[in-house]
């Protein structure tokens, strides 16, 4: 068990802004109350725990990137059989996971993984559904597979979430082809998609009927989205994505909108050279918030309930690069402060709020921790 006290390490980024875009190096306007807490290791000995979800019976279901789906209950791990073999390459493998909104009736789960059509062409991100019966998957169905395959090992995405109307959203990164995929609605990748729970395409998707368009697309112009959640009060779809060197973004996703990558960005190439001089262009959305420098965000959750009274309504984002969980304090639709939680704990891959209101974080090659207020 590790002890931490929350200290305000970054208090800036509240802005004069256009379309809710926030600029760096603005002065702090609020100091969050200090809170003491402990981090308790709940699930030890994991490798890369990519996605997590609690089942109605209280057991934890989580994915490991190398291809394992694990149910953890009463201190024991149960590996789920029947999981298709993922295409494990670079950032790709078994990734996001979600339960059907009516899971208690149908036992359907959804997961995303890098998939290969053959051994020579490489792979791309696929969305699957299956029935979970005991510790086995049955009736596994591939609902959507991004094309074409590529051997590049980057930017697979991928998170999954259902909204209150039962629509399923999932993210796929640009697969390292920034000049081909994100801005082209006739191509997969660099997109947020929306489907019905059976994989069919909603008739009111924004590009249904558009010549040659990928009709599953809900929004486009994304780089590598690894955060995707529904706001607990507004019902809006929130997303975050990795930028290049600088320019990680949080976006509030709207139907048919273009989020700009790579035509506009607050980041640079990893070499330090310029990608574009444009930070804004007509017809392209500004981020709700962005990080400069990048934190390499992964996982995303709003704090709900009363376990952490001073955090309620705030946004949590894992940092792979700087090995902590970030709390973004949001007031009047603006980020007014940032705070590091569990600084130095490791590469935080995912964060969720459990059924009793406790925060759980998945840390690569460490385990899954619960954050307990003192």
- For residue 300, report the phi and psi dihedrals to the nearest 5 degrees: -165, 135
- The catalytically annotated residue of 155, 222, 240, 242 is 155
- Which one, of 299, 282, 301, lies nearest residue 248 by Cα? 299
H, E, C per residue of the chain: CEEEECEEEECCCCCCCCCCCCCCCCCCCCCCCCCEEEEEEEEECCCCEEEEEECCCCCEEEEECCCEEEEEECCEEEECECCCCCCCECCECEEEEEECCCHHHHCEEEEEEEECCCCCCCEEEEEEEEEEECCEEEEEEEEEECCCCECCCCCCCCCEEECCCCCEEEEECCCCCCCCCCCCCCCCCCEEEEECCCCCCCCCCCCCCCCCCCCCEEEECCCCEEEEEECCCCCCEEEEECCCECCEEEEEECCCCECCCCCCCCCECCCCCCCCCCCCCCCCCCCCEEECCCCCEEEEEECCCCCCCCCCCCEEEEECCCCEEEEEEEECCEEEEEEEECCCCCCEEEEEECCCCCEEEEECCCEEEEEEEC
Which tokens in the block code for residue 371? Answer: 């954050």
Does residue 155 carry a catalytic annotation? yes
Give bridge partners of residue 230 from the DSSP assignment. Answer: 237
What is the spatial distance between Cα 160 and Cα 162, in angstroms, rounded to a whole number?
A: 7
Q: How far apart are CA 46 and CA 86, in angstroms?
A: 18
- Name the pairing type of β-strands 315-319 and 160-162: unpaired
Which residues are known catalytic residues? 155
């Amino acid at each position: 068990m590790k002890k931490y006290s929350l200290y305000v390490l970054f208090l800036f980024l509240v802005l004069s802004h256009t379309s809710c875009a926030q600029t760096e190096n603005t002065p702090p306007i609020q100091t969050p109350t200090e809170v003491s807490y402990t981090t308790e290791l709940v699930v030890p000995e994991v490798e890369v725990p990519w996605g997590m979800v609690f089942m109605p019976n209280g057991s934890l279901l989580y994915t490991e990137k190398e291809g394992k789906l694990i149910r953890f209950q009463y201190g024991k791990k149960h590996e789920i059989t029947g999981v298709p073999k993922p295409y494990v390459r670079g950032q790709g493998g078994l990734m996001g996971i979600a339960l059907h909104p009516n899971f208690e009736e149908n036992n359907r789960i959804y997961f995303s993984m890098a998939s290969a059509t053959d051994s020579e062409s490489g792979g791309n991100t696929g969305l699957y559904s299956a029935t979970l019966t005991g510790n086995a998957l049955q009736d596994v169905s591939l609902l959507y597979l991004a094309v074409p395959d590529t051997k590049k090992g980057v930017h697979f995405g991928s998170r999954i979430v259902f909204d209150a109307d039962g629509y399923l959203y999932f993210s796929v990164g640009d697969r390292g082809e920034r000049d081909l995929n994100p801005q082209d609605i006739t191509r997969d990748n660099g997109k947020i998609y929306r489907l019905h729970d059976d994989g069919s395409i909603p008739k009111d998707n924004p590009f249904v009927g558009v010549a040659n368009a990928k009709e599953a697309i809900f929004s486009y112009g994304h780089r590598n989205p690894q955060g995707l959640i529904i706001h607990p009060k507004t019902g809006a779809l929130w997303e975050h994505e990795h930028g290049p060197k600088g320019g990680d973004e949080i976006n509030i996703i709207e139907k048919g909108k273009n989020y700009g990558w790579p035509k506009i960005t607050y980041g640079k190439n990893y070499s330090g050279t310029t990608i574009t001089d444009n930070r804004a262009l007509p017809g392209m959305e500004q981020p709700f918030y962005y990080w400069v420098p990048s934190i390499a965000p992964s996982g995303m959750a709003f704090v709900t309930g009363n376990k952490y009274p001073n955090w309620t309504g705030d946004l949590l984002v894992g940092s792979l690069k700087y090995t902590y969980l970030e709390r973004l304090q949001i007031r009047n639709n603006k980020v007014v402060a940032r705070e590091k939680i569990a600084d130095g704990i490791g590469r935080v891959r995912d964060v969720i709020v459990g059924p009793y209101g406790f925060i759980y974080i998945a840390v690569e090659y460490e385990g899954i921790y619960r954050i307990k207020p003192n």
